[in-house]
């Protein structure tokens, strides 16, 4: 990621995508104490496309709860936008969490790059709701 190569994948433990940004800032700052936070944030904003957040629910199962795009920078802040969110709707009789994974209606900024690289994703997917029982 540091050298601008596409295709990096990593994990980071955080409660939300916004918390993940903060943790990345701290880790980079710890590794390179001479780098200012604005420079660190610019590096993160240019290197990271998505955060995919998973959470463990009361039934012990994990669900993807956020697919969040890193949009860029507004002044000194890394801007994020949720593309998909999990909404818990209840608990079934068997104790399993029920919910739905819904699109926020926002087509990601990197969609055209994805398409140009040969990955075909119908735009309707960004308008979809999937029930999870």
Residue 111's nearest CA partner among 96, 101, 99, 126 is 126
Q: What whole-number distance in Å separates Cα of residue 40 and Cα of residue 28? A: 7
- Domain interval for residue 58: 49-132
pTM of the model: 0.87
Burial 1-37, CB ≥16 within 10 A → b, else e? eeeeeeeeeeeeeeeebeebbeebbeebeeeeeeeee
> Is 43 domain-assigned?
no
pLDDT of amino acid 54: 95
pLDDT of amino acid 2: 62
pLDDT of amino acid 94: 93
User: SS3 of 94, please?
Assistant: coil
pLDDT of amino acid 69: 96
> Is 109 domain-assigned?
yes
The pairs formed by 41-45 with CB atoms below 8 angstroms and a separation of 24 or more are: 41/73, 41/76, 41/77, 41/78, 42/73, 43/2, 44/70, 44/78, 45/70, 45/72, 45/73, 45/78, 45/79
Show Cβ contacts of residue 25 under 8 Å, excluding neighbours closer than 6 positions: 37, 40, 41, 44
Task: Give the number of domains in the chain.
Answer: 1
> Is 65 domain-assigned?
yes
For the chain (length 133 residues), average pLDDT per consecutive 10?
72 94 90 85 90 94 95 95 95 92 92 90 86 71
What are the structure tokens assigned to 70, written together?
């890193």
> Is 90 domain-assigned?
yes
> Is 73 domain-assigned?
yes
> Is 13 domain-assigned?
no
> Is 23 domain-assigned?
no
């Amino acid at each position: 990621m540091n050298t601008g190569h596409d295709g990096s994948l990593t994990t980071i433990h955080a409660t939300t995508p916004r918390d993940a940004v903060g943790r990345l800032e701290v880790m980079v700052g710890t590794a390179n104490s001479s780098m200012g936070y604005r420079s660190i944030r610019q590096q993160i904003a240019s290197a990271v496309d998505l955060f995919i957040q998973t959470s463990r629910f009361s039934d012990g199962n994990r669900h993807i709860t956020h697919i969040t795009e890193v949009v860029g920078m507004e002044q000194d802040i890394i801007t994020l936008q949720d593309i998909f969110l999990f909404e818990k709707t209840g608990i079934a009789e068997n104790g399993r969490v029920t919910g739905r994974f819904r699109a926020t209606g926002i087509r990601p900024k990197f969609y055209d790059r994805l398409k140009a690289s040969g990955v075909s994703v119908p735009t309707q997917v960004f308008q979809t709701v999937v029930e999870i029982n």
